[in-house]
Amino acid sequence: MSKQKETLIIVGSIIGLGIILLFRKAEEKAKAIIYSAKDFVKSLKPIVERIRPQYNSGFVITVAALESNYGNSKLAKEANNLFSITGETWAKQGKPVIYMETKEYSETKGWYITKRPFRKYASWEESVKDFFNLLENNTRYQRVIQTLKGININDFAEAMWLSGYATDPEYKDKIIARYNTIKNYL
């Protein structure tokens, strides 16, 4: 092989590698987007309102904002899971899950770390649809559904807490605080 051909092959390989690295960097940058509270609400609100217009979209967005840290959590970025919905049943059914460590609370143990499967979605829209499916098809969330039709964040937060949606004993207060943070964007 001539020197000129060898040089062309090497240059071509370097250019090809450079292009691959550029695409990887662009992909990483896209995943690294940091959503502000305002941008998160602006992105999520039309999805929620299109899927279930009869409910108070602000309450749903509040839960998503709290659970996903405005779409910035690892679970939101890697699995489009905005509501921290666990995936034990999905894993058994062969549906997509991601295993992650999570902080849980129990009255006997206090706070502890455990690794659990979480549902993995192709999009935020799938995550929102599944959240509604979970609430509407599980009798323990009947009161949550009733309060989703209302305007009182305190009633909704209490219903979420009493339903056992999260193990955090301060979950009700955290929902109210997050709602107060984003209500001007709703």
Tell me, rounded to whole angstroms, the distance of Cα 41 from its chain centroid: 13
Q: What pTM was computed for the model?
A: 0.82
DSSP 8-state class, residue 88: H
User: Across residues 5-34, what is the average pLDDT?
Assistant: 50
The pLDDT score that the predictor gives to residue 26 is 44
Select which of 49, 125, 126, 130 is catalytic. 130
Select which of 39, 49, 104, 126 is catalytic. 104
130 catalytic per annotation: yes
104 catalytic per annotation: yes
Tell me, rounded to whole angstroms, the distance of Cα 76 from its chain centroid: 4
Q: How confident is the model at residue 6 (pLDDT cuts 50, 70, 90)?
A: low
How far is it, in rounded angstroms, from Cα 45 to Cα 41? 6
Write the pLDDT tens digit of every residue in 54-73: 999 999 999 999 999 999 99
CA trace torsion 48, 51, 55, 58 (10° rounding): 0
14 residue type, one letter: I
Q: State the architecture of 35-185 in CATH terms.
A: Orthogonal Bundle (1.10)
